[in-house]
Amino acid sequence: MAIDDNYRIPGGTKIGHVHLKVSDLEIAVMFYHGLLGFEVTQRIGDSAAFLSAGGYHHHIGLNTWHSKGAPDASKRGVGLYHTAIVYENRKELARILQRLIKAEYPLTGAADHGVSEALYLNDPDGNGVELYYDRPKEDWPLHRDGSLNMYTKALHIDDLLSELE
């Protein structure tokens, strides 16, 4: 395969949606719709559902076409590491954190990456889910040479929740 090192993807390009194989559609819909709050935009019988934020046709597709009753996603194999869902602002991230706490849904981690603050959890099929908000670009940490200085530090949960006060 020949690779052109001079090609750059256009800056306005976005990733449109993720489509996940799930073992139980109803449990997956309860997680993404019932807990995280995505709107169900379409269902295909008992084998697929499409969910959206803000009226888009779908951000998340769920199906059991090849995975009904399958075991959880492998942590040690190839495949999706996590799906990242970006929130509009820090207050919205705090709201979903409060919702997770009230539902007693376990987090697998929480981090401050300098450019963003993130919560990590697994969906019912063991797929990683990152819930985060990006800090304004002008606040991103930089090295002296101007390059990005991302890091992983502990996220102060109480400070995040103070956004709701």
Residue spans per domain, the chain: 16-68, 82-165
State the burial class of residue 160 (Cβ atoms within 10 Å of its Cβ: 0-12, 13-18, 19+). Answer: buried
Q: Quick one: three-class SS letters along 62-81?
A: EECCCCCCCCCCCCCCCCCC
**∠96-98-104 over CA atoms, to 5°?**
105
User: Do 18 and 60 form a contact (C-beta atoms < 8 A)?
Assistant: yes
- Does residue 83 surpass a pLDDT of 90? yes
Asked whether this chain's domains 16-68 and 82-165 adopt the same fold, the reply is yes
CATH superfamily of 16-68: 2,3-Dihydroxybiphenyl 1,2-Dioxygenase, domain 1 (3.10.180.10)
How would you classify residue 31: left for phi > 0, otherwise alpha for psi between -120 and 50, otherwise beta? alpha
Cα 3 to Cα 32: distance, rounded to the nearest angstrom: 38
pLDDT digits (tens, 9 = 90+) for 23-67: 999 999 999 999 999 999 999 999 999 999 998 999 999 999 999
Q: Which residues does 77 contact at the CB level (< 8 Å), separation at least 6? A: none
Which two three-digit tokens encode residue 55? 């009226």
Residue 143 DSSP symbol:
-
- Does residue 6 surpass a pLDDT of 80? yes
- What pLDDT band is residue 13 in, cutting at 50, 70 and 90? confident
- Does residue 1 surpass a pLDDT of 80? no
pLDDT digits (tens, 9 = 90+) for 118-162: 999 999 999 999 999 999 999 999 999 999 999 999 999 999 999
Q: Kindly report the pTM of this predicted structure.
A: 0.92
CATH number attached to the domain at 82-165? 3.10.180.10
